[in-house]
Structure 1
Amino acid sequence: MSRDLHAEPTLDTRVIQGDILPGLVKREELLLFFRIEDPTLFVPFVQGLPLTTAAEVLEQRAEIARRRAAGIEDLLPTPGLNVAFTYAGLTALGVDGLDDAPELAEFRAGMAGRTDVLSDPPAADWPVLGPTAPVDGVFVLTGATRAEIDDTVALHLAPVGSGGWSLVHEEAGSVRPEPVHGHEHFGYADGVSQPGVRGRTPGGDPLTASADPVNDPDHGGPGQRLLWPGEFVFGYPGQNPAGPKVSTRGPVSRPPVPMMRNGAFLVFRRLSQRVPEFDLAVKALAVTASTADNPVSATLMGAQLVGRWKSGAPLVMSPTADNPTLAEGSGQENAFTFAKDRDGTLCPYAAHVRKTYPRDDTPFDEDPEPTAETVELAEARTQSHRMMRRGISFGPELTHAEALSGTSDPAQARGLLFACYVTSIADQFEFVQQSWADNPSFAHPGSGVDPVIGQSADPTTPFRGAAPVTLDPGDRPELAVSHFVTMEGGEYFFAPSVRAVRAL
């Protein structure tokens, strides 16, 4: 059965902020975290901002695609400006009903109020966005260059204070240079498993086109599931976690308060990375894990921790050596499941990509011989916890001195500005962090903790490796992995529609 676009909702891309569904086009990003000092000045100020819509982003992306097809590689100016507010910010703006909706409990508490759930460091110790520096909102600015972003600041936001707001904190991110464009600082391809989104624009075009709409109507690109848009923006049908198929339409994600229609929650976290220490640890872990029957190099050990080779090639498809034909950009980097690796001998259960997106993995030992039906149901549950990720790297490239010493220079802080859009903070972001990444027994008892984003007060966390040569579950090594990613602060925001901002 071919894809029936008429059965999918029409998305109001003219009012949905651009970063939520298509994602603002960026090589550089600036986040300005602010406090509202005078709502009477701030409201007309924010109402007058030229907020970038999803429709505008789609036009930018289409023009970039046309230019590339014509062999034009020059950067296209792509200025982007979005805004999101904390619970305190929306309260200061007089939004009604925020205290009455039970589904807003996590949003009201803020990330600092959820440290126990997330196993985060004490909020009082956060160097950014902690309780000692509360914020009301964030301006998200993007562009092809930092100069382009600063032009937007000068033209629309300056001078600070004139619009009734004050600057509390700022974060700057950059896409890493070629040939590691799109890779995070440990060197691995990042953001290569974004979900596709069902729905069409007001003009009738699919938001996410299908590579093969006739023979494979439930995917965008190979392995990219098409999800119902209510997972990422309020007011549209979402996934059905109990559906017999991933494509089964679920209930509409109704906005907790009316002004939240066509908006989404924005989760932000600053994650610092100790790169040279990670590299040294990977070498040491490889020595510990390696046996005559299952030799493990440092490169393979790193791939087992992440679940992909640095190229983006999936470990489950190429378990002992990198394969450029499966790398990022090949079109095959997501065309895999875990159906043939139920025992975790190819890709460890606790590998980052398996922890955060287990696909069709059936949890624990509830189904030793899963059928096609139970596998599809398992993936239907998984897809109801997905996030639309919008992170970007921050900080300089690894220096020569750091590489030689194996020690990070405190003056050279680097990491990831994690960001994602969801319609349920609890069932999407917090569920993935708490129930999957931090849970040593997901997806199978004794699996271990996600070695990349897993949070724990313990100095090391367990990690069960793979046995890709012998394929014997008894050969999988039991390892202890130190922490090389530190959560340094974050917050929960809400990104309203442009229409809602105009109506404040």
Structure 2
Amino acid sequence: MSQVEFADVQGLVRFGYGHLTEASYALVRVKNVAAAKAWLHSTRVTDAAKSPTNTAINIAFTAPGLRALGISESVIAGFSHEFRAGMAQESRARQLGDVGNNAPSNWAWGSYGCEPHAVVMFFGKPEQFGFFVQSTKGTPWSDAFEEVTSLGTSNLDEHEPFGFKDGISQPQIDWEQRRQTPCTQLEYTNIVALGEFLLGYRNEYGKITDRPLLEPDSASAELLAANDAPTKKDLGRNGTYLVMRELEQDVRKFWQFLHQQAAGNIEEARQLGA
């Protein structure tokens, strides 16, 4: 059983950054491949070795984004079907219930063929957040990327938009890999196998999720070896999948519905909502 190389894991997976109450998500498309690669190479991504004090930056790529950066189809084919297909593909949209008014053609961003290539996630404390974002982007940013949109956030003081306490039930990742898999445990626990979050480790079924395994050569020399295939280089190891969706929530209609169901009883409506 191998130890987790925290310096190779993006910090968001381990820490969540709840203490960094300002955040923005820049959804970008590659405009100039050379400039984009140069910016990515020069940017210090926050890893999971130590919780950041004031600021953090993490980056996620879509399958079209990997193609735009020149990653071969044979390598991309090693990732999961869901990642390669994306959410806007017609059959995938039906599976997710994205039909009618919610169809991808009505989305503000991310429709099929127009997906962002990457999302650059900035986190920080309010007093220095603006400077951190601008200084991290720097002058090369506009040469490298076309910014599709930038999604801001609001500090709701640990409550979600409908007013309820947020973050109460959270899975605990088994970083020490003590959990026995495949799991036959019937008692409830919030401890979850590491492989449910990180590629290259065993999940709750005792399986290691598919990801690109490469032949050793000069291009893959710095990659870690695969736990389940030591002669191969594991491109996915210590990586994870991230789902990002922008939703519209009608708080007023939500509470109107609950009050109708509770026949006007305020306390019962709150209990229904919870």
Mapping 1:256-275, distance limit 5 Å: 256-257=212-213, 258-275=234-251
Structure 2 partner of 1:229: 194
Which whole-Å deviations, capped at 9, do the CAs of 1:410-446 have from their partners, x for residues lacking one? xxxxxxxxxxxxxxxxxxxxxxxxxxxxxxxxxxxxx
Identity across matched positions, percent: 26
How do residues 350-365 of structure 1 correspond to structure 2 at under 5 angstroms? none
Scaled by the length of structure 2, the TM-score of the pair is 0.79
What aligned pairs does 1:333-352 form with structure 2 within 5 A after superposition? Answer: none
Equivalents in 2 of 1:151, 1:233: separation in Å?
Answer: 32
Q: Output the CA distance in 1 between the equivalents of 2:150 and 2:239.
A: 23
**What's the counterpart of residue 43 of structure 2?**
49
1:251 has 2:207 as partner: yes
SS at match of 1:273: coil
Q: Retained in 2: the 8 A contact 1:45–1:163?
A: no
1:137 equivalent in structure 2: 118
For each residue in 1:128-178, what CA deviation from the matched residue of structure 2 results, as whole angstroms up to 9, or x when unmatched? Answer: 333474310010001121x423222222212364551121111001221xx
**Which residue is 1:190 aligned to?**
166
Is 1:10 paired with 2:3? yes
RMSD: 2.4
Q: Which residue of 2 aligns with 1:439?
A: none
Aligned residues: 239
Matching residue's letter, 2:207: P
Q: Counterparts in 2 of 1:422-437, with a 5 A limit?
A: none
Structure 1 equivalent of residue 224 of structure 2: none
Q: Which residue of 1 aligns with 2:69?
A: 93
1:124 equivalent in alignment to 2:117: no
5+ residue gaps in structure 2?
Answer: 179-184, 214-233
- Write out per-residue CA displacement over residues 328-372 of structure 1, whole angstroms, 9 at most, x where no aligned residue: xxxxxxxxxxxxxxxxxxxxxxxxxxxxxxxxxxxxxxxxxxxxx
2:80–2:210 Cα contact (<8 Å) kept: no
**TM-score when scaled to structure 1?**
0.44
Q: Distance in 2 between matches of 1:34 and 1:134?
A: 9
**After the TM superposition, which residues 44-193 of structure 1 pair with which residues of structure 2 at under 5 Å, given as runs?**
44-57=38-51, 60=52, 77-96=53-72, 97-101=74-78, 104-113=80-89, 114-120=92-98, 121-131=102-112, 133-145=114-126, 147-159=127-139, 161-176=141-156, 181-193=157-169
Contact preservation (8 Å) 2:25, 2:152: yes
Measured in 2, the distance between the counterparts of 1:298 and 1:38 equals 56
Return the index of the structure with the highest Cα Rg.
1
Q: Deviations over 1:40-89 (max 9, x none)?
A: 111121011011111132xx4xxxxxxxxxxxxxxxx5201011111011
Is contact 1:27–1:144 with CA below 8 Å preserved after alignment?
yes
Which 5+ residue runs of structure 1 have no aligned equivalent?
A: 1-7, 61-76, 201-205, 208-217, 241-249, 288-295, 309-504
Residue 299 (structure 1) aligns with: 267
Q: Counterpart in 2 of 1:29?
A: 23
Equivalent in the alignment of 2:231: none
Task: Return the alpha-carbon distance in structure 1 between the equivalents of residues 26 and 247 of structure 2.
Answer: 17
**1:115 CA displacement:** 1.0
Indicate the SS of the match to 1:21: helix
Give, in angstroms, the shift of residue 224 of structure 1.
5.1
Contact 1:36/1:166 (8 A) holds in 2: yes
